[in-house]
């Protein structure tokens, strides 16, 4: 039994014709008939019922069809992985990502990468921006996906690009007067008890400065009663009607347990969160280099 025989058998089974199978493989019908007969002799049983029109499979043939398809698929996978290994796309990749970004399209990106490069082990780590920064500099992570990091954007050893701009939404408890609207202007939040989500466990980051400027442009200083990088805690407090918050939409679009909370889009061209990919320029990790290319292509779409 060989691979050609299995391919010819599958073609006969699918077309229910020796002649059509022969045309598909650019050989004469007699050669296909001979190879199927040799396969039957090797297995010691009849696979194709030649008396029916069109031809049909015997019970043994039906079993072999399932197994042959699976066998050839596994063989092709082995060939693909061997070729990938020969190109150097093999190894380990450690990715750190911002808390809450697990609800984004990140898993879709990683799944597509894994299917294309199955010999790369991708390990993921969820953290705050300041810890992601330390992990990248310290070598714990090959790459990070983060909101902002004051030091890294100024570090000449670090490369980066913008992966996406995530739109912002206002998280309101359902009894709030603004919860019935289709959008929310930042100026309408003046005087509200604000539960402030920051990407960092420390204050004063680039992101914090960007959003404070938005409040100043709206003509007021926000009434921040709580400051945290933990979105889950903030949402719990919103549900308890202790205040409201502004969050990126990737944190809220897949929530199925936000009872008592309404998410209303923020109105304004600056109401977004910039998500960036950062890595060390000096890295020669082939798996990382390919991941950067894949993500950059997606960001360009």
The string of DSSP codes covering 37-97 is: HHHHHHHTS--EETTSSS-EE-HHHHHHHHHHHHHHHHHHHHHHHHHHHHTT--EEEEEEE
How far is Cα 122 from Cα 62, in angstroms, rounded to an integer? 39
Is the pLDDT at 199 greater than 80, yes or no?
Answer: no
CATH (residue range 166-273): 3.40.190.10
Which token pair is 193? 């008890």
- Asked whether residue 130 carries a pLDDT value surpassing 90, the answer given is no
pLDDT tens string 233-244: 999 999 999 999
pLDDT band at 172 (very low <50, low <70, confident <90, very high): very high
Give the confidence band of 57 by pLDDT, cuts at 50, 70, 90: very high
**pLDDT-derived band at 99, boundaries 50, 70, 90:** confident
Counting residues of the chain whose pLDDT is more than 90, the rounded percentage is: 63
Residue with the larger pLDDT of the pair 229 and 262: 262
Residue 262 is predicted with a pLDDT of 93
The pLDDT tens digits of the residues spanning 11-39 come to 999 999 999 999 999 999 999 999 999 99
- pLDDT of 86 > 80? The answer is no
Given the DSSP bridges, would you call strands 261-265 and 120-127 parallel, antiparallel or unpaired?
unpaired
CATH class of 3-86: mainly alpha
Comparing 3-86 with 166-273, is the CATH topology the same?
no
Provide the pLDDT for residue 77: 80
Which helix (H) or strand (E) segment holds residue 291: the answer is: helix 286-300
The fold adopted by the segment(s) 91-163+275-300 is D-Maltodextrin-Binding Protein; domain 2 (3.40.190)
Is residue 134 within 8 A of residue 163, CB to CB? The reply is no
**Tens of pLDDT along 142-170?**
999 998 655 677 788 999 999 999 999 99
- Could you tell me the residue ranges of all domains in the chain? 3-86, 91-163+275-300, 166-273
């Amino acid at each position: 039994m060989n691979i050609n025989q299995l391919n010819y058998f599958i073609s006969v089974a699918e077309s229910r014709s020796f002649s059509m199978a022969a045309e598909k493989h650019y050989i004469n019908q007699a050669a296909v008939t001979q190879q199927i007969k040799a396969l039957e002799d090797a297995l010691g049983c009849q696979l194709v019922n030649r008396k029916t029109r069109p031809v049909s499979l015997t019970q043994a043939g039906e079993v072999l069809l399932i197994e042959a398809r699976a066998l050839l698929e596994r063989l092709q996978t082995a060939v693909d992985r061997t070729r990938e290994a020969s190109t150097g796309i093999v190894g380990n990749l450690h990715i750190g990502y911002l808390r809450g970004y697990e609800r984004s399209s990140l898993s879709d990106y990683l799944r597509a990468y894994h299917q294309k490069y199955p010999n790369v082990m991708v390990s993921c780590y969820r953290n705050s921006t300041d810890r992601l920064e330390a992990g990248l500099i310290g070598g714990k992570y090959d790459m990070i996906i983060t909101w902002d990091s004051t030091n890294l954007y100024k570090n000449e050893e670090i490369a980066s690009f913008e992966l996406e701009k995530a739109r912002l939404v206002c998280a309101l408890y359902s009894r709030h007067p603004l919860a019935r609207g289709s959008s929310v202007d930042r100026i309408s939040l003046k005087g509200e008890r604000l539960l402030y989500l920051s990407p960092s466990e420390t204050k004063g980051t680039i992101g914090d400065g960007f959003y404070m400027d938005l409040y100043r442009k709206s003509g007021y200083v926000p009434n921040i009663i709580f400051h945290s990088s933990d979105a889950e805690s903030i949402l719990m407090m919103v549900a308890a009607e202790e205040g409201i918050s502004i969050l990126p939409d990737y944190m809220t679009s897949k929530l199925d347990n936000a009872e008592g909370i309404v998410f209303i889009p923020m109105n304004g061209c600056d109401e977004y969160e910039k998500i960036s990919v950062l890595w060390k320029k000096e890295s020669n990790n082939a798996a990382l280099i390919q991941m950067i290319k894949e993500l950059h292509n997606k960001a360009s779409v």
